[in-house]
Amino acid sequence: MPDPLSALIDLVAEGGVAVLSGAGLSTESGIPDYRGPTGAARKFAPMTYQTFTRDAAARQRYWARSHVGWQVIGRAEPNPGHLAVAGLQRAGLVSAILTQNVDGLHQAAGARDVVELHGSIDRVVCLDCGQTTPRTDLDRRLHAANPSFEALAAAVNPDGDVDLDDASVAVFRGVDCARCQVGMLKPDVVFFGETVPAARVDLCFAAVGGARLLLVLGSSLTVMSGRRFVLRAAKLGIPVAIVNQGPTRGDPYASLKIDAPLGTVLPDLAAALSLAQSGSSNVP
C-alpha cells in the first residue's frame, strides 16, 4: 500500500485538480489560522457587517486594529506551499484555485485566476459610491491622518487585524472615501453576517464540478462556506484529498487525508511531479 504522499502524487499527476485553500496554507507566512495549531486566542470577536455599518465606534476600533495589522499582512510573503500550488498550476495539473483566504498570497506566488471566495484585504471599497481602491492608498492616508499614532501588537489575527487597548483606539482617526468625501470605507472582504456573492459561489461550484479531484489545503472546513464544495464533490463522485494539520469536517468525505505541514508536503509533491513530468518527456 503506498504511503500517503505517494498516493497524493498519483492523484494529482492525472491533472484536473481544483484546489480549495484555507488559512492553514498561510501560517508559514506569519499569518495565524483560526482553529489549527497556530490559531490565536483573541480578545475581541470578529467584526460583523451589521456592527461595522451601524456603529461608528466599532468602525474606529476596527480600522485602528486593521491599520496596525496591515503593517504585517502587507509585508507577508508567499511560503513554499503557495509557490508549490502556483507551480502545479503552471504545469497544467491544477485547473482552478479557490481560496477562503484574503491575504493575496496565491497571486503573489504567481498563481493566476484565483477565485477569492471571501474577497481580499488589499482592496478597500466605498459603501456609498462603490469605488474600489488599493489598500496601500488607504494606508498612506491613515498614516497622514495619524502621524503620531503608535501601537504595539503581540500578534496579528487571522483576519488581518490585531488586539489593541482602548487608549490606543481612542486616539486613532479614520478617514472617509477620497472620491466622494463622505463614503464609508470597508475592506473588500466578506465580513461575518455578509453573504458571499452568488456569482462567486456559482463560479466555485462550476470549478469543482469540472474537476477530476478536489484538493483541500489548510482548511478545517468548519464553516459551510468551504465545506459545501466538499459536499458537492462527494455528491458528484469526485475524489477529495485533504492536507491539513488536525481534523476537518470534510474528513468523512475524503479518499485521502494527510495530517502534516503544508510547507513540507506541497513542495515535496511539486518536486516529485516535476521529476515525473521531466522523466516522461524523455521517454522515446
**Nearest-10 crossing angle of helices 224-236, 198-209:** 30
| C-alpha to C-alpha distance for 47 and 69, rounded to whole angstroms | 14
Angle, CA 29 vertex, CA 144 and CA 37 arms, to 5°: 120
CA distance 59 to 173: 10
221 is in an annotated binding site: no
32, 38 contact by CB (below 8 A): yes
Q: Is 41 exposed, middle or buried (0-12, 13-18, 19+ CB in 10 A)?
A: exposed
Q: Write out the three cell numbers for 271.
A: 518536486
Q: Are 201 and 119 in contact (CB under 8 A)?
A: no
Residue 186's DSSP bridge partners are 125
At which residue does the C-alpha cell 483606539 appear? 169
Grid coordinates in use for 84?
Answer: 508549490
262 annotated binding-site participant: yes
What is the chain's pLDDT, residue by residue, as a tens digit (284 residues)? 569 999 999 999 999 999 999 999 999 998 876 554 444 444 556 789 999 999 999 999 999 989 988 988 889 999 999 999 999 999 999 999 999 999 999 999 999 999 999 999 999 999 999 999 999 999 999 999 998 887 655 456 656 667 777 888 889 999 999 999 999 999 999 998 899 999 999 999 999 999 999 999 999 999 999 999 999 999 999 999 999 999 999 999 999 999 999 999 999 999 999 877 765 544 33
Report how far apart the first and last C-alpha atoms of the chain are (Å, whole number).
Answer: 30
Stated pTM of the model? 0.89
> Where are the domains positioned within the chain?
1-31+78-118+196-284, 41-75+121-189
Distances (CA, A) of 35 to 16, 23, 218: 29, 9, 10
Amino acid at site 102: V
145: CB partners within 8 A, 6+ apart:
173, 174, 175
HSE, side-chain direction, 13 A CA sphere, residue 158: 26
Task: Tell me: is residue 244 an annotated ligand-binding position.
Answer: yes
Would the annotation count 245 as a binding residue? yes
* Fold: same for 1-31+78-118+196-284 and 41-75+121-189: no
Asked if residue 102 belongs to a known ligand binding site, the reply is: yes
100 is in an annotated binding site: yes
* Annotated binding residue 204: no
| Residue 214 to residue 207: CA distance in whole angstroms | 9
Label residues 151-169 b or e (16+ Cβ within 10 Å = b): bebeebbbbbbbbbeeebb
Q: Which residue among 67, 82, 118, 143 is the active-site one? A: 118
Ligand-binding site membership of 107 (annotated): no
209 Cα distance to chain centroid: 21
Q: Which helix (H) or strand (E) holds 137?
A: helix 135-145
H-helix or E-strand spanning residue 265: helix 262-281
Options 3.40.50.1220, 3.50.50.60, 3.40.190.10, 3.40.50.450; which CATH number does 1-31+78-118+196-284 get? 3.40.50.1220
- Is 118 annotated in the active site? yes
Cα separation of 68 and 176, whole Å? 18
pLDDT at 152: 53
CATH number of 41-75+121-189: 3.30.1600
Task: Please report the pLDDT score of residue 50 as a whole number.
Answer: 96
